[in-house]
Amino acid sequence: MTDEVLYETKDRIATLTLNRPDRANTINHELISLLQSLALRAANDSDVRVLIVTGAGKHFCGGADLRSSSRQPGAPRSISPPGAGLGLDWVPKPVIAAINGSCMGGGCEIALSCDFRFLSTTAKIGLTEIRFGALPAGGGTARAPRLVGLSNAKRLIMVGEPVDAEEAKRIGLVDEVCPPDELLPKVIELANVLASRAPYAMRTAKQILNRTLQIDLASALELERSLINRMGSPEEIQEARREASEKSATYANIFSKPD
């Protein structure tokens, strides 16, 4: 039996590939369990700075596998994602979804939990559970309104029809739309930029930004001050500035000593 999620690292980037191409990478308990355990592996690997999630074959993820053999005998059939472990926003490093083909239901919920979403021009994406008498149970109802606004989230969830790449970009569901052959190169281009940033600063930025919309402004400002003031040691900050000055002439000029 092949692994249902593949793990590869290269140039400080880890790639998780949903690997059930014969079933459109649909979700079962084994896939989600492996996805989360491999994400934890990447989170704990100091050599990994960015995580990419994509799908093998033609599709990113077709949602829950309605014919999964892992369903308990006698249990009612449900198209809700198996368990609540779909989200990847707990990973302290940047996570990018490279979305090829269909991205439906639970697959869309995985993408929603990523920091960035790149979508192929030929792909479609949506929270389609209501068409089968269910609702998103992997964070979709919570994350979608925060990402695309209440009205667009209602349309995605209550109508349940997938949207094409152009519409997904228009409503802010995805960050970039790319031709299929440019999808992974574009994602890797962003990943390389993110991987070049100081890990302590990247980790802190993600923590602040993920929490700031959940609290009031005064609390958000206090959170910002608190976390930034202790986000890195003086040695780490000095090293980050040194590396940046070596790579960027503009940055070097800012911190250069006067003649």
Residues marked as catalytic: 109, 129
**Residue that the structure tokens 């990419």 belong to:** 52
The partner residues of 103 in beta bridges, in order of sequence, read 61, 125
Distance CA 17, CA 124 (A): 18
* d(C-alpha 38, C-alpha 29), whole Å: 14
β-pair partners for 51: 14, 95
CA distance 200 to 230: 10
DSSP output for 175-194: SEEE-GGGHHHHHHHHHHHH
- List Cβ<8 Å contacts ≥24 apart for 120-123: 120/165, 120/177, 120/178, 120/179, 120/180, 120/183, 121/165, 121/177, 121/178, 121/179, 121/180, 122/165, 122/180, 123/60, 123/99, 123/164, 123/165
Chain centroid offset of residue 63 CA: 16
User: How far apart are alpha carbons 80 and 214 in whole angstroms?
Assistant: 25
Q: Which residue is it, tokens 């890990």?
A: 199
